[in-house]
Structure 1
């Protein structure tokens, strides 16, 4: 949906989207994502996408060039329910998608669009779809939460299709060939359009990753034409619900606080039970690893305050029961040195009975018998125990609750920094910390920040790995020592690769194919041959000073200019218009031979008294003077004889 007439459609849709802002959010429960309005300008766009609330959201950055890019409503272009992806996630009609382009319309200037997820993605039941991949190609790179690069198998390629093909098209005006689908190269994780790089409509492919992803990058390259590509996201969601019953009162527990905890331990939502004791968390990602935790009302406790829930295949249910606290109860909290609650820590009474601290860091053990007792805590990873409560005694016939049996833990220090390029944070960059316990990796967030929390004391080497299209500017590693305080400001800088392009032609404007162009600079010189249209281009140029030289071909005397210079900075410029004009050699024509003729003598001046205007004799040798006199006398005699005969 791009070039010529189809290109006009995209332009109109995009202009409308940019002028009016992002369309209204999709209906609650739809699998298809909602996009924020894209901000920024060509070469520096940002935005966000909410695939499923609250778990699956991402911030993205893109260096796509301007023109026909932005969030599109999906009212005129969509994936019908007849497509394979539509059969699972439903039609995307009236659901948003994103249009982007390469960095420049050159095979050596791809755009990079990186999605940094707020938390790692699930391993099933979500998809991304790339559309309009015909005269273009896109390489897909995904980084896991541990800094690992996902394999092609983990990216979960599900197949190519043409959403405009007969039987699949969502509208009559969308026409395409069912055989016109992109080709997936697992070795390079690259999706490539048709072999002839012909601008067509509807070529698409869909993926369902089966490994967790922290950042996802699309490197989009023009092969021909006016390239624009489309991106959709979708996810299956479920509902988690249940009932909290008060077994002591024999009825529902109204107003009980219920929390939803994700697989990473983060709180995803909170609600309270209604008058009938029910609660619900709708639109939860269809995956496993959830925990539902209740906080019993005052004077109540629960023997099982947390339940695991798996909603991979169906909606989930988690029911709870609360009861009156049986004397004598013992309670307290677990907090760090800053007063932050520590949830999920195990507290044990006399080495036998254990409970787990709730989201507020609190714990309670009731029905503690008469006698002297002690509570201990299992210190979570990344913490050190600062203080614990002393033993306590439950007296005979004393039902007074024992409170304030608190634990204080110290959170071990963290090490953090930011990875920037041209002054802006870069998401999806892998950072490694090699320390006393070995190497660990993390991935930068959308703003370029990273952190290694709760590190044991020791010496560390922090290393950054430049992503595709970039190179580290300055040191790639830094040595740091962690003792007691947080270590901050361990920053790194990246530089973008640049590119150069131009045309070689003759002085009449005709392109010159096969001309030799040499680009010299950082690294070995690179020699290029111009294409049929006289163009040349070179990408992946590291920052530095460069020289371009054209070799004057046979039949030419020179070029204007013969040499050019340019500079690539850390911003990774696109240097275009580096053109050369060849001067054809001047061909001197071979002269035509002059016919050979006898030389002529110069005429003598006319004697005084003769006709000075008479023409000199030409073409014969002049007679001697005597001969001339005799001829004159003979002519006179003949004239006299003729005259006499006429009178007679």
Structure 2
């Protein structure tokens, strides 16, 4: 990594309000209501499905109903003036489950069992059973403790008719056989946990009841049986969620990027990070008590990093505010800064803050999700040395006690590298070639150039991370492609660039002289004081050509003498 200081000016972080609150406090916003989303799979008498709601345990169900259908909720719904509509808002546009019994005969009920992955919250969710007229529904449930739920545990709320004639804002129902509309309601028997339609088993519209369980449940079973005709019944789920929110500060300045967790009593963990202004929010939590809220505390600071909160302190739930206000220890001060990479927060970058006047106060930390770091416990009105990613430290003047000083921001320029080699078709290394890596995308930076060494190898430095490149080599049209690594520690090995081997010239033939035979006649002796007999020493001259020439002259001479002799004889013969 290379460091580049963007600016030497101190840029102040947005100051947050000095929140010195301790613990949790209720918020004014009302908890949010949600209606369940149903899915369905399988076939007649062997259905499976799911129900999904924000802040509610994962829910699955099975059913042996001869016919089950998920309905959109656009034509039939629970209006805002019904009991559940007032608690959770209108269900219009939200799905519900429409079911028939196993068979349209007495003693042939369908059984639908909902199973919750975790125990449900108590008092903040409901199930609604609609169109119960010529039929009956028996309810059973299992408590978190394992026992069967009682009528009180099921939390029966009321019976009503959901048609618009009885509930303004609801759907419009056809008239009942007696000419009335929106008048029919079922009856609830707490002793048998059974909801039964009208006494005449007459098929009507809108007869509904709703329940809000008062204890955590692990399962809910609905047994639906025909009394007459061809009845159907409807099931809705609804729940309320509440929020935990807050702000994290250090000496009154917001802390961005801090990790905050909320742990439910059953062990479910929710996680988020603080925003630029130090705030955080968990907007859709189950309405239960006993949450533990925790934050990553700034190093060297005072203040508790954990708190507890309950969302069920009032009926239906209440939002809670949990602030985290940290401070420098008494008579000390704090510093903070940010590190970015190509304009984005640089995460997990090591930072060392040293106080020359108090070496024991040295802070070693890393940047968080917002690229933010801080340290506390330093000498006021002094100086500290801040080193980012092991680079040369920057001297920063500290402020007064319990006053945060902002360090100039630092920009990291992160690059990666790649290695490769150039060989010829004989697999011999090719030295001295220029290798160029060009990004495939025009906005991914400029080309990177290297030269091969004697072993044909090259190294490309300064590549942009996670970028597609095309590599070419001088003197050839051959290219290879690769993608650079994700950070400075990644070195990618590029496929070999194979170029044509150089042509080898044909060798020039060498003429080998023919050795002459040794002379057989004695050469003329040299004058001087040497001996006058014996052969002369070989002088190094090549005698072959001379001997050939002499032989030719001798033959010519002999031929000429013969010619003259024959001619002379001829003349003599003519005279005679």
With the length of structure 1 as denominator, give the TM-score of the two structures: 0.43
With the length of structure 2 as denominator, give the TM-score of the two structures: 0.48
